[in-house]
Amino acid sequence: MDISRRETLALGLGAAALAFLPFRVNAATEDAIAAFTGGAEIGEGGITLDAPEIAENGNTVPIGVNAPGAAAILVLATGNPTPGVAQFKFGELAGSQSASTRIRLAGTQEVMAIAKMADGSFVKASSTVKVTIGGCGG
């Protein structure tokens, strides 16, 4: 059988799609959290993470974080081979403690944001972002 352009594309999709099953939180993520918090307890609330439920394109997923009063926010893609995405630091004169960026996700996984508050406490928010082959919508 001749391989047409379409077939090459489809085979390429096949290779990519094998990586589309859910990823687990890996050891590198745990290390990154420990390095940021020093092992301190992490609370909930006071931080929001905006992320799509299903990524339109896993290679460029728009996310936003907002944690009023934070000194720094760490963003992790917990299922990526290298989970560290960004760490945003806010000076005392910062008008707001929010940031947005686009990240690449290797597959369906939890995206996590941890804020270090001015008093040294930590809070987190997380969201599952699904990366899918798509098609077949009704």
Partner 1 sequence: MISRRDFLQVSMAASAIVGASGFGNWARLAAQQTLTQDQLLEFDTFGNVTLIHVTDIHAQLKPIYFREPQINIGVGEARGRVPHVTGADFRKLYGIADGSMPAYALTYDAFSALGKEYGKVGGLDRVATVVNAIRAARPDALLLDGGDTWHGSYTCYHSAGADMVNVMNKLAPDAMTFHWEFTLGSERLLELVEELPFAALGQNIFDKEWDEPSEFFESYKMFERGGTKIAVIGQAFPYMPIANPGWMFPEFSFGIRDERMQEMVDEARAEGAELVVVLSHNGFDVDHKMASRVSGIDVILSGHTHDALPEPVLVNDTIIIASGSNGKFVSRVDLDVRDGRMMGFKHKLIPIFSDVIEPDAEMTQLIDEQRAPYLDQLTEVIGQTADDQLLYRRGNFNGTWDDLICDALIEERDADIAMSPGVRWGPSILPGQDITREDIWNVTSMSYGKAYRTEMTGEFIHVILEDVADNLFNTDPYYQQGGDMVRIGGMGYTIDVSKPQGERISDMVHLKSGEKIDPAKTYVVAGWASVNEGTEGPEIWDVVESYIRRQGVVSLAPNTSVVVNDI
> Which residues bind to partner 1, rule: CB under 8 A?
1, 4-7, 9-11, 13-14, 17-18, 20-22, 50, 52-54, 56-57, 62, 100, 108, 128, 130, 132-138
Q: What sign for the dihedral angle of Cα 136, 77, 114, 68?
A: negative
How far is the C-alpha of 48 from the C-alpha of 127, rounded, in Å? 10
Task: Rank residues 4 and 38 by Cβ distance to partner 1 and give the closer one.
Answer: 4
Task: Rank residues 31 and 56 by Cβ distance to partner 1 and give the closer one.
Answer: 56
CB of 85 to partner 1, least distance (A): 17
DSSP code at position 69: T
CB of 50 to partner 1, least distance (A): 7
Whether 111 contacts 49, CB under 8 Å: yes
CB of 18 to partner 1, least distance (A): 6
Task: Rank residues 48 and 121 by Cβ distance to partner 1 and give the closer one.
Answer: 48
Whether 75 contacts 87, CB under 8 Å: yes
Whether 53 contacts 130, CB under 8 Å: yes
Task: Rank residues 61 and 71 by Cβ distance to partner 1 and give the closer one.
Answer: 61
